[in-house]
Structure 1
Amino acid sequence: MDPLIIARLQFASTTIFHYFFVPTSIGLAFTIAIMQTMYVVKKKDIYRKMTKFWGALFLINFAVGVVTGIFQEFQFGMNWSTYSRFVGDVFGPSLAIEGLLAFFLESTFIAVWVFGWNRLPKKVHLASIWLVSIGTIASAFWILSANSFMQNPVGFELTAERAQMNNFGAILTNPHLWAQFPHVLITSIVTGAFLVAGISAWKLLRKHDIEMFKRSFRISIIIGASAAFIMLFTGHWQAQYLVESQPMKMAAAEALWETSEDPAPFSVFASINTEEKLNDYEIQIPYLLSFLSFNSFSGSLEGLNQLQADYEAEYGPGNYIPPVKTLFWVFRIMTGSGGLLLLLGLYGGYVSRKNQVPKPNIFLKIMPWAMALPFIANTAGWMMTEMGRQPWVVYGVMKTEDAVSPSVTAGEMLFSLITFTLIYTVLAILTVFLFKRHIEKPVFVEDKEEQTHDPFDSEKGDKNHVAT
């Protein structure tokens, strides 16, 4: 057993599982904040019920996400101690600010939001959920500032044993951060919105609380469609940045072995031969790759074989080509999933226009399954981000093989991998159980205690907006 392979498998499993919860928290918090804003503005009880229903799912997701994040931190110390020592001086400020500012902001105002119903003024209570949403976004920003250093190391100097930060401003203005963060933020909003839309469609199919879930569906599908449309542009901008900053990653994502002709075609399908370093067969769209890369129907891209020679000249002998087959297909899975989300979002907005209930047709039956698309796209995107950087753990500075813990054996790593996998399995089962139990229970129309304290409940006509 190779300790490096096991360590990489554990990093992949912990990161992928943790990232199921991160974008969900960001997207749900944002969507719930909009729903509660509508409650405060329109003063209709149905929006309060809606906010509380989806808020319970957010709390479950947030709690499990915290646990999975802790396990992710453990595996850094166990399996990647050399890497941790090397980047500790650079990562320290970003991770400290994420924990002390962003996470504390989230956790503090989650408590204010949960216990502040009917105890705080409406607008103050609304501010608490918006602060939670801002906290989730800020947390992502600081984590991505650390990840962006791995992709494009800036603001540091090399000492005998480690990278030492000498310019915090450079970390915060890292071009990779500002290419990556908007895309991560928008995809997270898409994730939360489509989760709400999918569950709402499931409830509508079963004719549960029609009025509430009709409105939930409409709000979430509009948010999801809008974010999915913006996502096309943020993803496009990030890809264009990577063409310049990490050409090897993008060449691998296109299975481009030789420097392309001008203009460059886009490969829709390719039979990739990694041994011969060529494609046995491919289906291409002329001009499209040049347009996607340069916003022009002209321009060529350097191929993997040429980049390999360039990297050997700069960094010394070695294999600098990442796993081409994996990157080629995860890139298409990611972009294909994003395209489907946009089409579903646009159609969903159309069929739910003017507050009409979407009929129980094939579209409503598809939407619960479509909840998986954002998670598939997110996972594929992070696989491309991390695997496309190989063989580097810090691009151009430290190789992955040099980052693993020297004193941890393969058997110990395998034991921790199996243990973490079992724990994650239990957490996954628990999360699905809690989500399912909450989703299936009815939403009650009246809550006497809240009606006593809530002046909005006495508004005429509000009670007619909720169906049991």
Structure 2
Amino acid sequence: MDALDVARWQFGVTTVYHFLFVPLTIGLSVLVAILQTLWHRTDDERYLKLTKFYGKLFLINFAMGVVTGIVQEFQFGMNWSDYSRFVGDIFGAPLAIEALVAFFLESTFIGLWIFGWDRLPKRAHLASIWVAAIGTNLSAYFILAANSFMQNPVGYRINPDTGRAELTDFVAVLTNKVALITFPHTLAGSFLVAGSLIVAVGLWHVIRNRDSADTGAYRFATKFGSWVVLVSSALVLFTGDIQGKIMTEVQPMKMAAAEGLYTTESPASFSVLTVGSLDGSREVFAIKIPYLLSYLGTGDPNGTVHGIDDLQAQYASQYGAGSYTPIIPVTYWSFRFMITFGMAAAAIALLVLWSQRKGRTPTSRWLLRAGLVMPVLPLLANSFGWIFTEMGRQPWIVFGEMLTRNGVSRSVSLTEVLASFTAFTLIYATLAVIEFKLLVRYAKAGVPDLTPAPVDDTTDDAERPLAFAY
């Protein structure tokens, strides 16, 4: 074990942990805005209660996401300074716009939304949550544009004197074909997570508090969340199909590694399950779907999918001696876990809708247990999707331009990286406990009571302190 290994583990752990909050924030921001819009248009008190209820869960998650996200930027300078120097001219523009425009847009208008209840005009207050949601999604796009450069470098040149990548076409970076499909795919996955949380919390209250006066609100929440899950699942599959074809075009090794395909095949089958050697080079038993891998990779059921061995020989000839093959068990199983967990969430959403058909009230404790597990499934699907995306690119940190081992900080010792890795892991574990307890506490509390509190007429409204109106 050396500093490179620990630096990669640290970045992986902190990134996966941070991304637990990102999709929930992206999805909930829009869904809460939709709920408030329904209240604005109908004056139905159910929608107002649900807006404030899920809005509180959104704010808890947003705050934790901001805290954990700050660490990501520090790591570039801490453990990956050579990478930062190489790619800084490219990353600087989209990340600066993300911070100065998108993040400040969402944080400013979230503040207006939090403290603007009964102070801002109704339409202005509704607009504030929509602007915050737009800012959240814009933030995601600029970050994904930067990440997509690592997958498919465009709009740059290599300075022969400094060895750095220099930006030549900012529009090309923003319109990178990898970014253009990764963004909707990520959004669909985010709505899958947010919809699952809405279903889980609503279903818990429907089953456990059947006689509550707010049962109607919870029943609507479970149906609303279930439809969000089903629609977003379909969008995940649609955008994922396009993403797979683009991935095969720009990173054919990643598609080969996803299947553990060592020899070039036409047509190529997709294995649902394979038993064999750990690296996938020897197959003992496999359940395969004929033609599927060819279709996923090329759009043609008879298309050619290049194998690992041929691609390794091609890359060795093009880039020099060395291994250009990612860790096959990681890519193979992360790809399948991503699909399996996402489909499982959609299946539970179907069961929830079926349990409430024709006005029925669900009572099954098995359904309740499935509902409580439901938010975890798309979170795992998102995490495994990103593990596949990043690990499948290895050994490149910027595909075709910079190897991961060349991006690590040369002045950082193994002891220093171990110390920061241990500290971050302990801090993040503590934050995980806090986040979980806060979400569970406020989810169990249920929708708020909207009965107006007594007003002290002796105090001028302008002198009253701002209140967290939830």
* Structure 2 Cα separation of the partners of residues 443 and 196 of structure 1: 12
Aligned counterpart, 1:218: 223
Aligned counterpart, 1:189: 191
8 Å CA contact 2:233, 2:346 repeated in 1: yes
2:236 alignment partner, SS class: helix
Equivalence for 2:110: 110
Aligned to 1:254: 259
Give the superposition deviation at 1:367: 1.0
CA-to-partner distance for each residue in 1:122-167, whole Å, 9 max, x for gaps?
Answer: 2221111111111111010000000000000111111123111011
Contact 1:183 1:231 in 2 (8 A): yes
SS of equivalent residue, structure 2 residue 20: helix
Structure 1 residue 16: deviation in Å?
Answer: 0.2
Residue 190 of structure 1 aligns with an amino acid whose one-letter code is L
Q: How does 1:413-452 map to 2 (within 5 A)?
A: 413-449=417-453
Match of 1:175 in 2: 177
Equivalent of residue 308 in structure 1, options 298, 304, 312: 312
- In structure 2, give the amino acid aligned to 1:147: N
- Give the Cα separation in 2 of the matches to 1:451 and 1:362: 46
* Structure 1 length-normalised TM: 0.93
Moved more, 271-280 or 189-198: 271-280
Kindly indicate whether the alpha-carbon contact (under 8 Å) linking 1:257 and 1:278 is maintained by their aligned counterparts in 2: no
Counterparts of 1:60 and 1:234, CA distance in 2:
29
Alpha-carbon deviation of 1:168? 0.4
- Matches of 1:276 and 1:354, distance apart in 2: 49
With over 3 angstroms needed to count, the CA separation of the structure-2 counterparts of 1:302 and 1:366, relative to structure 1, is: same
- Displacement of 1:240 after TM fit? 1.3
Pick the aligned partner of 2:283 from 259, 279, 283.
Answer: 279
Structure 1 residues 126 and 350, CA gap change in structure 2 (3 angstroms): farther
Match of 2:295 in 1: 291
| Structure 1 residues 153 and 444, CA gap change in structure 2 (3 angstroms) | closer
Is 1:340 aligned to 2:341, yes or no? no
AA matched with 1:173: T
Q: Which amino acid aligns with 1:55?
A: G
Q: Deviations over 1:172-195 (max 9, x none)?
A: 111111121110011001111111
What is the Cα deviation at residue 450 of structure 1? 9.6
* From 361, 368, 375, the counterpart of 1:371: 375
Question: Residue 246 of structure 2 aligns to which amino acid in structure 1?
Answer: Y
Structure 1 residue 53: Cα displacement: 0.8
Partner of 1:297, secondary structure, is: coil
CA distance 1:45–1:448, shift in 2 (3 Å): same
Q: Deviations over 1:53-83 (max 9, x none)?
A: 1111111101110010011222221100110
State the partner residue of 1:227: 232
2:370 maps to amino acid: I
Distance 2:32 2:280 in 1: 52
- In structure 2, relative to structure 1, the CA distance for the partners of 1:57 and 1:317 (3 Å cut) is same
Identify which range, 282-291 or 2-11, moves more after superposition: 282-291
Alignment CA distance shift 1:428-1:275 (3 Å): closer
C-alpha distance in structure 2 between counterparts of 1:252 and 1:81, whole Å: 29
Greater CA drift, 443-452 or 279-288 = 443-452
Q: Does the Cα contact within 8 Å between 1:256 and 1:304 map onto a contact in 2?
A: yes
What is the CA–CA distance in structure 2 between the aligned matches of 1:17 and 1:275, rounded to whole Å? 27
The answer to whether the 8 A contact 1:214-1:355 is kept is no
Most deviating of 91-100 and 41-50: 41-50
Matches within 5 A, 1:348-427: 348-353=352-357, 356-360=360-364, 362-427=366-431
Shift of 1:449: 4.0
User: Normalization by structure 2: what TM-score?
Assistant: 0.92
1:17-166 to structure 2, matched below 5 A, reads 17-159=17-159, 160-166=162-168
Q: How does 1:239-250 map to 2 (within 5 A)?
A: 239-250=244-255
Secondary structure of the corresponding residue to residue 448 of structure 1: coil
Cα distance change, pair 122–171 in 1 and its aligned pair in 2 (3 A): same
**Residues in 2 aligned to 1:249 and 1:155: alpha-carbon distance in whole angstroms:** 22
Specify the code of the residue in structure 2 equivalent to 1:263: P
Residues 4, 432 of structure 1: alpha-carbon distance in 2 compared, 3 angstrom cutoff:
same
SS in 2 for 1:358: coil
Is the 2:52–2:447 Cα contact (8 Å) retained in structure 1? no
Q: Distance in 2 between matches of 1:366 and 1:112?
A: 37
Cα displacement string for residues 345-369 of structure 1 (whole angstroms, at most 9, x for unaligned residues): 3343344356654344533331111
The answer as to whether partners of 2:53 and 2:446 remain within 8 angstroms in 1 is: no
Distance, in Å, in 2 between the alignment partners of 1:324 and 1:305 is 13
* Residue equivalent to 1:268: 272
Name the CA distance, whole Å, in 2 between partners of 1:170 and 1:192. 31
What is the distance in 2 between the residues matched to 1:124 and 1:331? Answer: 44
d(CA) in 1 for partners of 2:363, 2:381 = 28
Q: Is the 8 A contact 1:243 1:250 kept in 2?
A: yes
CA distance in 1, matches of 2:84, 2:104: 24
CA contact 2:144–2:179 (8 Å) conserved in 1: yes
Task: Give the superposition deviation at 1:221.
Answer: 1.3
Residues 397/363 of structure 1: CA separation in 2 closer, same or farther (3 Å cut): same
1:182-215 Cα offsets, whole Å, 9 max, x none, are: 1001100111111111111122221154222111
Matches of 1:117 and 1:202, distance apart in 2: 28
Q: 1:354 to 1:29 in 2, by over 3 A?
A: farther
Count of aligned positions: 452
Q: Partner of 2:465 in structure 1?
A: none
**1:274 Cα offset (Å):** 5.5
State whether residues 335 and 377 of structure 1, in contact with CA within 8 Å, keep that contact through their aligned partners in structure 2.
Answer: yes
